[in-house]
Amino acid sequence: MTVEQFSVAGKTAIVTGASSGIGKTIAERFADDGANVVVCSRELENVEPVAEGIEESDGEGRAVAVECDVTDRDAVDALVDATVSEFGGVDVLVNNAGASFMAPFEDISENGWKTIVDINLHGTYHCTQVAGERMRENGGVVINLASVAGQKGSPHMSHYGAAKAGIINLTSTLAYELADDDVRVNCIAPGFVATPGVESQMGVSADEIDRESVKRRIGTTEEIADLAQFLASPASSYLVGETVTAAGVPPILETPDV
Instruction: Considering only CA atoms, give the Rg of the chain.
Output: 18
- Please provide residue 116's backbone torsions phi and psi, each rounded to the nearest 5 degrees: -70, -40
* pLDDT score, position 234: 97
Query: Active-site residue among 125, 160, 176, 238?
Result: 160
* Contact between 244 and 186 (Cβ < 8 Å): yes
* Contact between 172 and 144 (Cβ < 8 Å): no
d(CA 83, CA 71): 18
Nearest to 147 by CA among 123, 126, 121, 173: 121
* pLDDT score, position 79: 98
Which one-letter DSSP state was computed for residue 123? H
* Contact between 56 and 106 (Cβ < 8 Å): no
* Contact between 26 and 228 (Cβ < 8 Å): yes
In order of their start, the domains of the chain are 9-246 (3.40.50.720)
d(CA 156, CA 174): 29
d(CA 80, CA 131): 6
* pLDDT score, position 198: 63
Mean pLDDT by 10 residues, the chain (258 residues): 91 97 97 98 97 95 98 98 98 97 96 98 98 96 97 93 98 98 98 74 62 78 97 98 92 57
The reply to whether the predicted model has a pTM over 0.85 is yes
* pLDDT score, position 250: 76
Which one-letter DSSP state was computed for residue 155? T
Helix (H, G, I), strand (E, B) or coil at 254: coil
d(CA 144, CA 21): 15
- Kind and range of the H or E element at 41? strand 36-41
Kindly give the interhelix angle for 221-232 and 21-32, rounded to the nearest 10 degrees: 50
* Contact between 27 and 53 (Cβ < 8 Å): no
Active site residue 160: yes
User: For the residues of 186-213, what is the DSSP string, one character each?
Assistant: EEEEE-SB--HHHHHHH---GGG--TT-
d(CA 48, CA 76): 17
Helix (H, G, I), strand (E, B) or coil at 153: coil
CA–CA distances in Å: residue 187 to residues 89, 163, 231, 246, 253: 22, 14, 9, 11, 25
E-strand stretches of 7-74: 12-15, 36-41, 63-67
* pLDDT score, position 202: 57
Which one-letter DSSP state was computed for residue 119? I
* Contact between 221 and 194 (Cβ < 8 Å): yes
